[in-house]
Amino acid sequence: LIITKADLKRYLEMDKVALGMKEKRPRILTGHIWKYEISLRYHEYFENKINKNIVDRFLRKYWSYMHYKRGLRLGFTIPINVFGGGLGIHHYGMVVVNGNAKVGEWCTVQQGVNIGQNHSAEEVPTLGDNIYIGPGAKLFGKIYIASGIQIGANAVVNKSFYEEGITIAGIPARKLNDNI
């Protein structure tokens, strides 16, 4: 969770690494995904900050709007306080995530991914660190995905996987090489 300025700096640095960015800051006409992630992190910071003064309250509204507006352009619905640092998004297009889901650090999310609820808003996925989510994968319900898991393209993940570092794929998702 981003609460302090130091947290914000760390998350921004990790995201930059995850996105493979070398420049100091995004260029004016490009770097849209990077700019989006920066808006997400500033929104998180100003939302979570304790003791907000009037300027902070204004900045919370400003970054909330930038986060929303940039997300609209790219097709991203990624609420605050879901992803740990090191979020890697490499393409534009339809990433929809439930605000109650929790994802660890260094997650890569491809286009067309959905991390959502099933039945009720409490029934959402929890993911560990270092997870790769292939294009089109859908994860939903009260499930747990262990660290280091790679999720294949178009997988439908509707149950928990506790074994770290495996590859899962298919509909419904199963551990690869286990007769999928």
Ligand X SMILES: CC(C)(COP(=O)(O)OP(=O)(O)OC[C@H]1O[C@@H](n2cnc3c(N)ncnc32)[C@H](O)[C@@H]1OP(=O)(O)O)[C@@H](O)C(=O)NCCC(=O)NCCS
Among 116, 154, 156, 166, contact with ligand X (rule: CB under 6 A): 154
User: Is residue 170 at the binding interface for ligand X, with CB under 6 A as the rule?
Assistant: yes
Q: Which residue has the tokens 């292939």?
A: 134
Closest to ligand X by CB, 84 vs 134, is 134
13: closest CA among 104, 86, 76? 86
Instruction: Name the residue nearer to ligand X (CB basis): 8 or 155.
Output: 155
**Contact characters 99-138, ligand X, x per CB under 6 A:** -----------x-----------------------xx---
- What is the closest distance, in whole angstroms, from the C-beta atom of residue 60 to ligand X in the complex? 34
- The site map against ligand X for 2-41 (x = CB under 6 A) is ----------------------------------------
Which among 17-25, 32-40, 50-58, 150-158 is the span making contact with ligand X, rule CB under 6 A?
A: 150-158
Q: CA-to-CA distance for 131 and 147, rounded, in angstroms?
A: 6
Task: Give the distance from CA 98 to its chain's centroid.
Answer: 10
What is the nearest approach in angstroms of ligand X to the Cβ of residue 19?
A: 14
Distance CA 153, CA 151 (A): 7
Q: Which amino acid is at 110?
A: Q
**Separation of alpha carbons 153 and 168, rounded Å:** 10
* Least gap, CB of 165 to ligand X (angstroms): 13
Q: What is the CA radius of gyration of the chain?
A: 16
Q: Could you give the strand order of the β-sheet that contains 156-157, starting from the edge strand earlier in sequence? A: 76-77, 95-97, 114-116, 138-140, 156-157
Helices 32-48 and 54-74, axial angle in degrees (round to 10): 150
- Closest CB to ligand X among residues 53, 179: 179
- Interface contacts to ligand X, rule CB under 6 A: 91, 110, 134-135, 150, 152-155, 167, 169-170, 176, 180
